[in-house]
Amino acid sequence: MLIAASQVWGLAAACALLIVVPGPSVLFIVGRALSYGRNTALASVVGNAVGCYLVALCVALGLGALLTASTTVFHVLKYLGAAYLLWLGVQAVRHAGHGLHPATPAVPADGRSTTGGRPWRSMRTGVVVAMTNPKPYIVFAAILPPFVDPAAGHVLRQLLVLALVPIVIGLVSDTVWALVAGRARTWLSGTPARLRTTGRVGGVSMIGLGVVLATTDSGH
């Protein structure tokens, strides 16, 4: 058997606390939910998971070690990610409440977004956010190798299979946060004015996340 159950459970235990405790991905998802609604947030969750798996592939091919060793590459990726988050936040603030008509409900009863673009666009946003954040590269590079069994062979395949463990845990956790934040948006946004305020709060949270990412030197 390529992957033993002990490897999976050990990795799950190591990742659970890191993932379940709210971090940057949670703040991003909550910001998307408050700005655009549940469906946009859920699409962003899926995109973020896909992006994280692509990060794991990059780590398996050696990019994680490059980021750890190269300050220049680390900071270039970090600032790209921060700039993208700042842009997303500014867009959310600028367009908060756009498309609303005074005679229509501020938020649909099922929590769907009144704006926010197509699901594929939201998924793409999640992918880009995941892949331009250097922290997942470093986390994957630190967490995955200890659970690989070199004697079993196929090390690259083991890394890619084991990477599914934290990604699935993160997918479940982020989905819960998206649903809760989407419900909060519905509850808070009874009028167009309140909806605009809620959307702006979500945008500001993404701007704050971008600032934190740009000014934090975790890993270097």
Per residue in 68-95, pLDDT (tens digit) is 677 787 788 888 888 888 988 888 888 7
| Average confidence score pLDDT of the chain | 81
Evaluate whether residue 1 is within a structural domain: no
Give, in order, the Cα–Cα distances in Å from 126 to each of 74, 130, 133: 20, 6, 11
Predicted model pTM: 0.76
Evaluate whether residue 16 is within a structural domain: no
- The total number of structural domains in the chain stands at 1
Evaluate whether residue 134 is within a structural domain: yes
Is the Cβ–Cβ distance between 113 and 40 less than 8 Å? yes
Show the CA angle centred on residue 151, arms to residues 145 and 154, nearest 5°. Answer: 70
Per residue in 137-193, pLDDT (tens digit) is 878 888 888 888 877 778 888 888 999 999 999 999 999 999 999 988 888 776 677
Residue 1's Cα: distance from chain center in Å?
32
* Least confident range of 16-25, 111-120, 133-142: 111-120
Q: How confident is the model at residue 104 (pLDDT cuts 50, 70, 90)?
A: very low
Evaluate whether residue 163 is within a structural domain: yes
26, pLDDT greater than 80:
yes
Packing angle, helices 5-20 and 164-188, rounded to 10:
30
* Least confident range of 94-98, 106-110, 196-200: 106-110
Instruction: Residue 148: give the domain boundaries.
Output: 25-215
Packing angle, helices 38-60 and 134-143, rounded to 10:
50
The pLDDT of residue 91 = 84
Evaluate whether residue 194 is within a structural domain: yes
Who has greater pLDDT, 135 or 54?
54
